[in-house]
Structure 1
Amino acid sequence: MRWNAAALLVIALVVGCSGGGEVPGPAPDSPAQTAFPDPGTETLDPGRAAVLQDVLNKIVTFPDSPSGSRGVTAAVVTDRWVWSGAAGADIRGTPLRPDTSMAVASITKTFLAAEVMLLASAGKLNLDRPLSAYVQHRLTSNSATVRQHLSMTSGVPDFESSDYGAMDGAIAAAPGRHWTLAQSLDFHTAKVGPPGSPYSYSNPSYVLLGMLIEKITGKPLATALRRDLATPAGLRHAAFQDAEKPQAPAAVDNNESCGAPDGFLPCRAFASAVAAPGGLAADAPTVARWGYELYGGRVLPPDLVRQMTDGDGEYGLGTMRFTRLFGIGDAYGHGGDMPDHTSLLVVIPSERVSIAVILADGGRSVDRPMADLAKELEPLLS
């Protein structure tokens, strides 16, 4: 998510026409030419796992550094083995476990993009039709296409700082209130540009895509994502808030706008206000498993995955592009930031590996911990 920190909402992780057909053919030289095999089931042996755990221990040794944290969880899924680990504690001092649920913010966008791609492949929508053909809203009136909203080139800018401040005040006034998807858009005041504008990170586009999914499926967003993606991918420890509550054990937040904990991360009003662009809560093994299933072409056909990861810039369709950023190979995934949590999912198709890191602090530089983990991981993939 890309919310204003001063407003104590979600901070962004700043990284970064088919004529009648629903989904065009795959681009050449793209990843995921064939689906990954089943993920490994064996646990990495303790001797080899120690080097990965050491990375986590170093993160919490200097918690106040830009890439440090009071607590961290991480997980790796490969086609041969799996690993997960934890170090430190959440903001309330509760020790973290590998299966501790935390808010993973904009990693949620990968689910929305995957669902839209599924609906397009089933002929239920056309990526190259204006989103306004399906969702009538003042923010769709510029006729930007579904694909342009997915790629954040729709001309719909992110919320202004003042928008976040007003939203934060509304959350603080009623932290237990449920927000509909559209209600957060009532706070959007930025001027909409022309479709096909240069890439600009846009949470409102993903709110609109959530409304699109509900319109096409006739189901609440969480129901559609659970049925079509989470269940087929075997994700048992993911919660699409606020329709679902994070599963225990769950980190406890300390958000001033939310008051006392209510079982959501950080509270129901906040979680439902950001449900479409960033409401997911999950543990690191679940996030890593999702990356393996999605970018490994196991929940979407590989040709749809290639479209999500294709392009020359930093963003594909609901996907951040990390070209050799982490040293092992071209990588894809997404990051997210909440007031108390920072997360990053990275999948390296050439190595058939998915890595998830979640820090129990907001606004942290998670790229460095991910790079350190990838460096130690590389010899283990040989």
Structure 2
Amino acid sequence: MGHACTRLRRGAATATAVGMLMVPLAGGTARAAPPTSVPGPVTAAPSPTPSPSASGIRTLGPSVTRQLDRTVRSVLRETRVPGVTVGIWTPHQGRYVRSFGVADKSTGRRMSPGLYMRIGSETKTFTVTALLQLADQGKVKLDDPIGKYVGDVPNGSRITLRQLAGMRSGLYNYSADPDFFKALTSNPTRHFSPRELLGYSFRHPALFPPGQKFSYSNTNLVLLGLVVEKESGRPLGGSIHSGILGPAGMRNTLFPAGAEFPAPHAQGYTDQTATGKVADATGWNTSWGWAAGAMISTLDDLRVWARTVATGQFPDGRTMVGPALQKQRLNTPPTPVPGVGYGLGIFDVHGWVGHNGSLPGYESLTVYYPPARATLVVLLNTDINYRGQEPSTVFGEAITKIISPAHVFNLPAEPVAH
């Protein structure tokens, strides 16, 4: 099953996904030359309490740090990802922050922990949080039909905001539409409006009645973004900044209107092109992802966000989402993948709570393991699949096999029928 973000579609078949729609592309995949590793800052602070067995997380002492270094380098070589940054933080078992490989294949500029990166479908966690904040304020109700807020939605009188946030609406994923793929890849710098994106979805019949199944769809989040704008009276990016990023202290996270990308950033490489050849997608306009996948962030900000979104509390202890709604958010009904549940804009993969992201040129993974208050963030500058797997998942699985062997982040890539 595919499992990351706002990935595009080319070809005829579609698949349900946890965090993304993933479709095998025709032809072979071009690969970058093997990158070199770059030492980054590593701090290992072993603590006798709590024990690794009690917390579920191994102490990040010298031996585990060396094992992580070897494993990440090995995965980097095997997947031929240009560059990756990995961050692991725990209150008791230590921390690990390191970058490997290159941020720019043309110049050899090294990957580093301070770079801005596109985070794709991690944007969904912010959009749904903005919606939940409106629900806390009594401005929306999760069981309201989307037709109350947005007109001309297929089954709009029956699909609830809750079903949209939980990927159970049955609406067709606009980014799976062949005409959308052609429009984007023929002019990657063009701007798409939310209504244009919905148009690509609404030309297709519903996949199933609302609430019947799980099916990942970026269309759901575009609709929720319009709800947030209507009920807040301001642009979605403004609501996310004032209600989430500012209070969380996430000064290096933004919701771009188009192709803007602060420096320094990594160059991003994709094969999601009209020809299937690898291209530099750094300057692509991400308006096509909008509420589903347009945002940009950094390693340090995502470290903050992992715990904030998983607990519903800002770092200073203030409430971001009220306890009742946060409990509903973290109710993660099962998906077709064993051990994986999806709640309201958030997943639980064998105990790791959060989201991942994938869009042309970039992938990310930001997850939190509550029993140990442990955070894992992985950022890389390609979305080119490795043997049918998202490379971010390959890294996430390899890392968690080391640090939390009883709770491995694993999202298999086999297609699952609607």
Say whether residues 1:75 and 2:101 are aligned partners. no
CA distance in 2, matches of 1:140, 1:250: 41
Distance (Å, rounded) in 2 between the aligned partners of 1:12 and 1:372? 24
Deviation per residue, 1:146-177 (Å, 9 max, x gap): 1111111112132374x2x3223323454433
Q: Secondary structure at the match of 1:337?
A: strand
Matched, 1:231 2:246: yes
What corresponds to 1:6 in structure 2?
Answer: 10
Aligned ranges 1:145-160 → 2 under 5 Å: 145-159=160-174
Determine what percentage of the aligned residue pairs are the same residue.
26
* Cα deviation, residue 276, structure 1: 0.9
Provide the C-alpha distance between the structure 2 equivalents of 1:296 and 1:240, rounded to a whole number of angstroms.
Answer: 22
| TM-superposed deviation, 1:56 | 2.6
Count of paired positions? 335
SS of 1:107's equivalent in the other structure is helix
Q: Which residue of 2 aligns with 1:351?
A: 372
Q: Deviations over 1:189-243 (max 9, x none)?
A: 3212422221111110111001111111111111111111111111122221226
Whole-angstrom CA distance in 1 between matches of 2:301 and 2:175: 32
Match of 1:114 in 2: 129
Structure 1 residue 319 corresponds to structure 2 residue 346: yes
- Give the gaps of 5 or more residues in structure 2: 21-41, 46-59, 314-319, 335-340, 406-418
Determine which of 246, 267, 282 is the counterpart of 1:252.
267
Q: Give deviations 1:261-281, integer Å, cap 9, x for gaps.
A: 99x84412xx00111111112
**Aligned residue number for residue 370 of structure 1:** 396
Matches within 5 A, 1:87-166: 87-90=100-103, 92=105, 93-139=108-154, 141-159=156-174, 161=176, 163=177, 165-166=178-179
CA drift of 1:79 comes to: 3.7
Alignment partner of 1:176 out of 171, 189, 202 = 189
Residues of 2 paired with 1:88 and 1:284: CA distance?
16
Q: Which residue of 1 is the match for residue 37 of structure 2? A: none
Counterpart check, 1:185 vs 2:202: no
| Distance across 2 between alignment mates of 1:205 and 1:6 | 21
> In structure 2, the residue corresponding to 1:143 is in which secondary structure?
coil
Q: Deviations over 1:84-121 (max 9, x none)?
A: 22101146343211122222211111111111111101
**Aligned counterparts of 2:16 and 2:101: Cα–Cα separation in 1:** 24
Which residue identity is paired with 2:129? A
Q: 2:73 maps to which residue?
A: 57
Partner of 1:30: none
Aligned: 1:267 with 2:284 = yes
Question: Which deviates the most, 128-137 or 239-248?
Answer: 239-248
Are the aligned partners of 1:332 and 1:347 in contact in 2 as well (CA < 8 Å)?
yes
Secondary structure, counterpart of 1:333 in structure 2: strand
Q: SS at the partner of 2:248? A: coil
Confirm or deny: 8 A CA contact 2:148 2:157 kept in the other structure.
no
Q: 1:287 aligns with which of 288, 297, 302?
A: 302
Counterpart of 2:257 in 1: which secondary structure?
coil
TM-score scaled to structure 1, two decimals?
0.78
**Equivalent residue number for residue 98 of structure 2:** 85
Q: Is it true that 1:203 corresponds to 2:218 in the alignment?
A: yes
Name the structure 1 match of 2:29.
none
**Equivalent position amino acid for 1:371 in 2:** E
In structure 2, how many angstroms separate the alpha carbons of the residues matched to 1:242 and 1:59? 34
Which residue identity does 1:70 align to in structure 2?
A: P
Note if contact 1:285-1:356 (Cα within 8 Å) is conserved in structure 2: no
CA distance in 1, matches of 2:19, 2:231: 31
User: What TM-score does the superposition give when structure 2 sets the normalisation length?
Assistant: 0.71
Match of 2:358 in 1: 337
CA distance in 2, matches of 1:366, 1:51: 18
**Alpha-carbon distance between aligned partners in 2 of 1:232 and 1:166, rounded to the nearest angstrom:** 40
Residues 131 and 144, structure 1, Cα contact 8 Å, conserved in 2: yes
| Distance of 1:5 and 1:214 partners within structure 2 | 28
Distance 1:167 1:244, change over 3 A: closer
Cα distance in 1 between the residues matched to 2:349 and 2:171: 24
Question: What is the CA–CA distance in structure 1 between the aligned matches of 2:149 and 2:159, rounded to whole Å?
Answer: 12
Within 2, Cα distance between the matches of 1:72 and 1:198?
A: 35
Can you give the 5+ residue segments of structure 1 that lack an aligned partner in the other structure?
17-41, 324-329
Q: Matches of 2:43 and 2:391 in 1, distance apart?
A: 28
CA distance, structure 2, for counterparts of residue 246 and residue 13 of structure 1: 28
